[in-house]
Amino acid sequence: MFGFLFRKQKAVEELLAEYLHSVEIAQQDFARAMETYLETGGCCPDFEFLTAETHKAESRSDDIQEKMIRFLFEKALIPELRGDILILMEAVDEVPDQFDRVLYGILTQKIVLQDVVKPDLRELVAVSMETCSFMLEDIRALFERSEQAGRILTRVDQLESHGDHIERRLITRIFESDWDPLQKILLRDLTLALGDIADLALSVCRQVNLITVKRRV
Amino acid sequence: MFSLLSGVLLGWSLGANDAANLFGSAVCSGMIRFWRAALLASCFVVLGAVLEGRTGIQTLESLTPLDLRLAVLSSLSAAVTVTFMTLLRLPVSTSQAVVGSIVGAGLLQNDLYLGGLSKVVLCWFGTPLGGILFAVALYPFLALLYNRCPYNLFRMDKVVRIALVVAGCCCSFALGANNVANVTAVFVGAGQLDVYSATLVGGASIAFGILTFSRGVMKTVGRDLVVLDPFCALIVILAESLTVQVYALVGVPVSTSQAVIGSVLGIGILKGVQTIQRRTLLSILLGWFVTPMAGFLLFFAFSFLSHLRYVP
């Protein structure tokens, strides 16, 4: 009876699921690319392929986001949910963008890894990937109105602090070494860029928490 | 039939002004298109007027006996009051303007039913109070249901949107039932219309106002209601609808705007925040005196003018 009210809403719902899936694919490709990079210590065809794959997934999520924004501006959903989704997507979009930036940074600057930093970098990547997985779980929980929504924030916050700790340790180690100064700066930038992933995931979770609190009547 | 024009004008302006209180938030937020909202509101207004408008008509008709000339004059002075105050951007209640001019007619004839009048005035004061009480009662109950509902966010969005449209329809029904008396009660008193025709003509003229001139007002007033979150907007419309419906059953036409303000105030009381500015409340208090007084004075002015004869 009320079908005429919800044509656009159904489309937004499907696009959101598609968007989150696309971000997840970008995350998986990024993790595999970083794994390859950490194993080889430099760029290789596999790494280049996975970088291109991550970029494709990131572009796909951008396209879906644009479609969703168009639907939302055509006034699908009630204004509050519309606003929440727009703000949330803007925050989430920073994460695949950061994957792209990190991988292209490695590829274009030909950053070569020293064995001594690999364990810390691997740990930092693992922490960042865990925060991203929690971020996606948190968003899904928000839309499912699950009790989990908002509770994940504490865990992500802890992970992000742990990531900061690894980041500081790694930068100290880099600058204590006698490597070429340019190499040091490039590795520092890479470390900071990897650390930013957890920061971005945390800010998304904070946004989710805010929406959860706001929607409790 | 020509004498009914002033009533139709009054109904038209009532429909144009009050539609915002029915579907303003839903239309402004894009939940429903204007034309769909206007059509739904018009249908339910006519339905409410025809099915439940009788009691209000009997109340206003009983205030004072009217002949056709007095009926036209009181209806005209109420219409001019409403239009003039709207132009001055002062809060106006059609019910208060109509009763003010009927009181003028009653005083002119020295025949005013004070018992009926005190019931009407008491209900005016009770309108925002009703809004407050219904909002305070509905909010915790519906919030519990809302929070316990197992649906996902999109489905909840759907539920709230459907509820807003249904509440808008209920409110339209209540508006028709309650306010039709403002439009045509004086013509029933004058013997120009029977009660059934009066509800039909009154309902149709309110619907005509909604269909032809409510878009702008709906967008302006609705924007203020959209500031509330959708759940609160739903509570406000439901509380308004119940308040106006109760007074329709009591048989006293009241202002939907004042019911809305009461409901918003109720939400504010529950949440511990100031939802209505003191200035708005003062303007309602002022309106309680200024609007009936303006209707009353205009009736005398028109009555005086109607007695003037051209002497060459």
How close, in Å, is residue A145 to chain B by CA atoms? 5
What's the rounded Cα separation, in Å, for the pair A194 and A128? 7
Q: Would you state the pLDDT for residue B299? A: 94
Q: Would you state the pLDDT for residue B287? A: 78
Residue of chain A whose Cα is closest to the Cα of B143 = A217
Count Cβ atoms within 10 A of the Cβ of residue B58 and give its class: 0-12 exposed, 13-18 middle, 19 or more buried: middle
**pLDDT single digits (tens) A49-80:** 999 999 999 999 999 999 998 888 876 677 77
CA dihedral B101, B103, B107, B108 (to 10 degrees): 30
Q: Would you state the pLDDT for residue A165? A: 96
Residues, chain A: 217
Residue B30: band (very low, low, confident or very high) from pLDDT cuts 50, 70, 90: confident
Q: Do A217 and B229 touch (CB under 8 A)?
A: yes
How close, in Å, is residue B265 to chain A by CA atoms? 17
Q: Decide if pLDDT at A5 tops 70.
A: no
What's the rounded Cα separation, in Å, for the pair B209 and B213? 6
Q: Do A217 and B231 touch (CB under 8 A)?
A: yes
Q: Is the distance from CB of B30 to CB of A6 less than 8 angstroms?
A: no
Q: Would you state the pLDDT for residue A11? A: 85
**pLDDT single digits (tens) B239-297:** 999 999 999 999 999 999 889 989 988 998 888 877 777 777 787 778 778 889 999 99
Q: Do A75 and B29 touch (CB under 8 A)?
A: yes
**pLDDT single digits (tens) A77-91:** 777 788 889 999 999
Give the structural domain span for A112: 3-215
**pLDDT single digits (tens) A135-194:** 999 999 988 877 777 678 999 999 999 999 999 999 999 999 898 999 999 999 999 999
ipTM confidence score: 0.71
DSSP string, B214-271: -HHHHHHHHHHHHTS-HHHHHHHHHHHHHHHHHHHHHT----HHHHHHHHHHHHHHHH
CATH number of A197's domain: 1.20.58.220
- The answer to whether A80 faces chain B, any CB pair under 8 Å, is yes
Q: Do A75 and B231 touch (CB under 8 A)?
A: no
**pLDDT single digits (tens) B72-82:** 999 999 999 98
Q: Would you state the pLDDT for residue A4? A: 59
| Average pLDDT, rounded, for chain A | 90
**Domains in chain A, number:** 1
Q: Would you state the pLDDT for residue B221? A: 67
